[in-house]
């Protein structure tokens, strides 16, 4: 078992936010956590990376990665794990990147934080990674500031950075929510492709049930900090048990769904 989260409770200050969440993840598998805003889905994956906001803290439970409880990590141990073995792709990578430094400088700095290579080597490896993600003109991208790139391009740079060390676990927080359908398809395909090649496990948090159904082996539905239902993506989508899951699925607009207005005039 790569990652085992058991009976996790998380509070912000005095307020309990997440209640009794457990999940198990094997290499190469994808779990999607779906739910509305405020359901606690982002809080769960932030806890796994040890980056809860100031007020947040885990009050109960364990997060065991590779046989070690991450909650007992020292700051130094966290620094080694996060960004290398466990990485995260954020919702808006454009605002995760430093606005006053070029992409290249940030990418090289990130690589050299974790491995001992020369700047030139790191630069070449970063270029190779961008090429692997099918990004056009990687040299131009490395020489750009984040604001010079489109949202989709920034997001793909964020994914490229998250995938760079072939992490054991990739945590993705709404990685495609801010993107157009075409760019969304590109980013999803790139994430899936690299995970197939490297055996990376993914936990994706999303409210796009179509993306969740496409990517995930298991879907976890959350509401108000509780797990409402879990199952294989096929079970959840085609045979949901809980009313809330059915409601959520019914709300997703689909092409080819309901009958439509008829036009008679020419």
Partner 1 sequence: MTSTKLGKDYVLNIQHVVKKFPVGEGKVLTACNDVSLKLYRGESLAIVGESGCGKSTLAKCIMRLHDVTSGSIFYGDQDITQLKGEDLRQMRKHIQMVFQDPNTAFDPKMKIKDIICEPLYNFDMIKPSEAEEKAKEMLRLVELPEDIVDRYPANMSGGQRQRIGIARALVLNPEVLVCDEATSALDVSVQKKIVDLLLSIQKKTNLSIIFICHDLALVYQMCNRAAVMYLGNVVEVLPAGKLKEAKHPYTQALLRSVFPLREKGTHTVQTLEGEIPSPVNLPTGCPFQDRCCECMDHGCRETMAPLKKQGIQHYAACHLLDDEVQETAQS
Is residue 155 within 8 Å of residue 133, measured between CB atoms? no
DSSP letter (8 states) at residue 144: S
Give the shortest CB-196-to-partner 1 separation in angstroms.
15
Which spans of this chain sit near partner 1 (rule: CB under 8 A)? Answer: 36-37, 136, 150-153, 180-186, 188-189, 207-211, 213-214, 233-234, 237-238, 247-266
Owner of token pair 């934080």? 113
Give the shortest CB-258-to-partner 1 separation in angstroms.
6
Measured from the CB atom, the residue of 84 and 207 that comes closer to partner 1 is 207
Give the shortest CB-55-to-partner 1 separation in angstroms.
20
Give the shortest CB-266-to-partner 1 separation in angstroms.
6
60 vs 16: CA distance, rounded Å? 11
Measured from the CB atom, the residue of 56 and 151 that comes closer to partner 1 is 151
212 vs 199: CA distance, rounded Å? 19
Measured from the CB atom, the residue of 72 and 263 that comes closer to partner 1 is 263
Measured from the CB atom, the residue of 33 and 111 that comes closer to partner 1 is 33
Measured from the CB atom, the residue of 49 and 227 that comes closer to partner 1 is 227
Give the shortest CB-212-to-partner 1 separation in angstroms.
9
Which of these, 47, 67, 57, lies nearest to 3 by C-alpha position? 67
Which of these, 131, 133, 156, 136, lies nearest to 146 by C-alpha position? 156
The number of beta carbons lying within 10 Å of the beta carbon of residue 1 is 11
């Amino acid at each position: 078992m790569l990652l085992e989260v058991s009976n996790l409770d998380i509070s912000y200050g005095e307020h309990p936010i997440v209640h009794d969440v457990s999940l198990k993840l094997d290499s190469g598998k994808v779990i999607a956590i779906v739910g509305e805003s405020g359901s606690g889905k982002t809080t769960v994956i932030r806890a796994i990376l040890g980056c809860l906001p100031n007020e947040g803290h885990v009050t109960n439970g364990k997060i065991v990665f590779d046989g070690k409880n991450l909650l007992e990590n020292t700051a130094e141990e966290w620094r080694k794990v996060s960004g290398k073995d466990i990485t995260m792709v954020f919702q808006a990578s454009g605002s995760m990147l430093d606005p006053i430094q070029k992409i290249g400088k940030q990418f090289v700095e990130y690589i050299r934080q974790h491995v001992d290579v020369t700047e030139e080597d790191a630069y070449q490896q970063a270029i190779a990674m961008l090429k692997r993600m099918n990004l056009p003109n990687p040299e131009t991208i490395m020489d750009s500031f984040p604001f010079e790139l489109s949202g989709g391009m920034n997001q793909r740079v964020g994914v490229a950075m998250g995938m760079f060390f072939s992490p054991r676990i990739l945590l993705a927080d709404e990685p495609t929510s801010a993107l157009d359908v075409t760019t969304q398809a590109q980013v999803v395909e790139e994430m899936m492709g690299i995970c197939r090649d490297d055996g990376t496990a993914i936990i994706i948090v999303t409210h796009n049930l179509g993306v969740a159904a496409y990517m995930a082996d298991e879907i976890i539905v959350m509401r108000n900090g509780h797990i409402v239902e879990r199952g294989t993506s096929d079970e959840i989508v085609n045979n949901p048990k809980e009313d809330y899951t059915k409601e959520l699925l019914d709300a997703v607009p689909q092409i080819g769904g309901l009958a439509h207005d008829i036009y008679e005039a020419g």
